[in-house]
C-alpha cells in the first residue's frame, strides 16, 4: 500500500480526534485514487523513531499546530527533516508554475497557538482549519459541513504534494538531526521507583473529565516512568472530588486535570464553593492544560503544563514528592 503522508502531532495532543482525522483522510484519499492509501501517525505506544523516520520519506506532512507542538522535540525533528528535503527531479522551466517544496508541508491549526513561533521557524501562512482549531471543528461539526470540506482540502494538498517527488533524507543522517524547535522529549527519562517513595507517596490518582483523557494518559505515562502506581479516575461533577478518587483508588495523592472541559462538565466556575471546584485534600495537585486558566482557579495555584515545559514537569514531580502541608 502507498504511504502518502505523515500526520505530525504533539504527544500531548494524541488521542481519539487525531486518530479519527488521520483515518478519515486515508479513506478520502483511497476513495479518490481507487486504491488503498495509508499514512503514518504516532499512537500512545509508537516508538518516537517511527514518525521521525517517516518524515524522511513521505511525500507530504500534515503538521497539527498547537502550543504543545512547538514544545515537542520529536515534532521539531520531524519538521527539521521534512523541510530539509528537496525535489528529486527539477521541474521544467516551461508550463504551469510548479509547486515549491513548501507545498508538501501542510500546516493544520489543531488548537490556537497563543505563543509566538520559535525564532528558527518561518511564519506559517494560511494554515488549513477553523479559526479556533480543527479539534473544536470536529467536536462541533461531526461528519457534515465544514469537516467534510476540511478533508477535501487536505486531500487536495496531499495529492498536489505528489508532484514534487521530494528526495528522501539519508537514513544514516536521520538519527543525528537536531530538532528545529522543542525542549521536551515525549516523556522525561525514567527517574526510577526510588524517587516516588521519598515522602510516602506511592499511588497517584489522575482525576479528569472524559474530554481530557489524552492529557490523563500522557500524565499516567509520565508518572509511571517516575515510579508511581497510577489510576485514572473519571470525575463525576455531581459528587465529591476527594471522595471519588480516594474511594475508588485508595490513592496517596491526586493530580487534577484542570481545563475548559473540566469547568464545562462541572457547570460551575472553579473555586465557586461547589463540590466540583473544591480542593480535594492536602495531597491534591492541580495542573492546568489550557493556556488560559479557568475563572476562579487562581487560588488553586495550578501548575501550567500546556506547553510541556521541562521546569513545569519537574515542578509537578516535586509537588508529588513533597510531604503534605
Burial group, residue 137, by CB count within 10 angstroms (0-12, 13-18, 19+): buried
Residue 276's pLDDT is 37
What percentage of the chain's residues is helix, strand, coil (to nearest 5)? 40, 15, 45
Q: Which residue segments constitute the domains of the chain, with CATH numbers given?
A: 2-174 (3.40.50.10140), 193-321 (3.40.50.10140)
Q: 220 by DSSP, 3-state: which?
A: helix
Q: 98 by DSSP, 3-state: which?
A: coil
Q: How many helices (H) and strands (E) does the chain have?
A: 10, 9
In whole angstroms, how large is the CA radius of gyration of the chain? Answer: 22
- What is the torsional sign of CA 122, 123, 129, 131? positive
Answer for the pair 15, 25: CB distance below 8 angstroms, yes or no.
no
Going by C-alpha positions, the residue among 71, 75, 13 that lies closest to residue 44 is 13
DSSP states along 129-149: S-TT-HHHHHHHHTTSTHHHH
Tens of pLDDT, residues 211-246? 788 788 778 878 887 888 899 988 765 554 444 444
| Beta strands 105-109 and 229-234, pairing class | unpaired
Q: How many Å apart are CA 72 and CA 76, to the nearest integer?
A: 6
Q: How many Å apart are CA 314 and CA 268, to the nearest integer?
A: 30
Q: How many Å apart are CA 55 and CA 40, to the nearest integer?
A: 9
Residue 197's pLDDT is 45
Residue 126's pLDDT is 55
Residue 46's pLDDT is 67
**Which letter, b or e, does each residue of 30-46 get, where b requires 16 or more Cβ atoms within 10 Å of its Cβ?**
beeeeeebebbbbeeee
Q: 214 by DSSP, 3-state: which?
A: helix
- State phi, psi for 206 to the nearest 5 degrees: -110, 105
Tell me if the pTM is above 0.85. Answer: no
Tens of pLDDT, residues 95-129? 444 455 567 889 888 988 877 777 666 666 556 66
- Give pLDDT < 70 ranges for the chain: 1, 44-46, 48, 87-102, 119-130, 141-144, 183-201, 236-249, 264-282, 295-298, 307-308, 323-325
Q: How many Å apart are CA 169 and CA 177, to the nearest integer?
A: 10
Answer for the pair 165, 140: CB distance below 8 angstroms, yes or no.
no
> In residues, how long is the chain?
325
Going by C-alpha positions, the residue among 109, 112, 98, 110 that lies closest to residue 161 is 98
Amino acid at each position: 500500500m502507498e504511504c502518502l503522508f505523515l500526520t505530525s502531532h504533539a504527544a500531548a495532543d494524541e488521542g481519539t480526534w487525531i486518530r479519527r482525522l488521520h483515518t478519515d483522510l486515508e479513506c478520502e484519499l483511497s476513495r479518490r485514487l481507487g486504491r488503498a492509501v495509508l499514512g503514518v501517525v504516532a499512537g500512545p505506544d509508537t516508538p518516537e523513531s517511527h514518525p521521525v523516520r517517516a518524515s524522511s520519506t513521505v511525500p507530504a506532512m500534515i503538521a497539527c499546530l498547537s502550543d504543545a507542538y512547538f514544545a515537542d522535540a520529536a515534532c521539531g525533528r520531524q519538521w527539521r527533516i521534512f523541510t530539509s528535503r528537496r525535489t528529486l527531479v527539477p521541474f521544467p522551466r516551461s508550463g504551469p508554475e510548479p509547486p515549491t517544496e513548501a507545498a508538501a508541508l501542510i500546516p493544520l491549526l489543531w488548537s490556537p497557538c497563543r505563543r509566538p513561533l520559535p525564532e528558527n521557524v518561518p511564519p506559517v501562512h494560511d494554515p488549513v482549519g477553523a479559526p479556533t482549531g480543527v479539534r473544536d471543528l470536529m467536536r462541533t461539526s461531526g461528519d457534515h459541513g465544514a469537516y467534510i470540506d476540511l478533508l477535501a482540502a487536505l486531500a487536495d494538498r496531499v495529492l498536489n504534494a505528489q508532484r514534487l517527488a521530494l528526495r528522501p533524507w539519508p537514513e544514516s543522517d536521520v538519527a543525528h538531526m537536531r530538532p528545529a524547535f522543542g525542549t521536551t522529549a515525549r516523556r522525561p527519562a525514567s527517574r526510577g521507583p526510588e524517587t516516588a517513595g521519598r515522602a510516602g507517596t506511592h499511588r497517584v490518582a489522575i482525576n479528569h473529565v472524559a474530554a481530557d483523557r489524552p492529557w490523563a494518559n500522557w500524565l499516567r505515562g509520565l508518572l509511571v516512568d517516575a515510579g508511581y502506581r497510577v489510576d485514572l479516575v473519571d470525575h463525576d461533577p455531581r459528587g465529591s472530588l476527594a471522595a471519588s478518587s480516594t474511594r475508588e483508588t485508595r490513592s496517596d495523592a491526586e493530580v487534577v486535570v484542570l481545563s475548559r472541559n473540566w469547568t464545562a462538565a462541572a457547570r460551575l466556575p472553579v473555586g465557586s464553593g461547589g463540590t466540583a471546584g473544591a480542593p480535594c485534600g492536602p495531597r491534591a495537585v492541580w495542573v492546568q492544560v489550557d493556556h488560559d486558566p479557568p475563572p476562579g482557579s487562581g487560588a488553586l495555584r495550578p501548575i501550567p503544563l500546556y506547553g510541556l515545559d521541562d521546569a513545569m514537569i519537574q515542578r509537578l514531580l516535586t509537588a508529588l514528592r513533597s510531604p503534605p502541608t
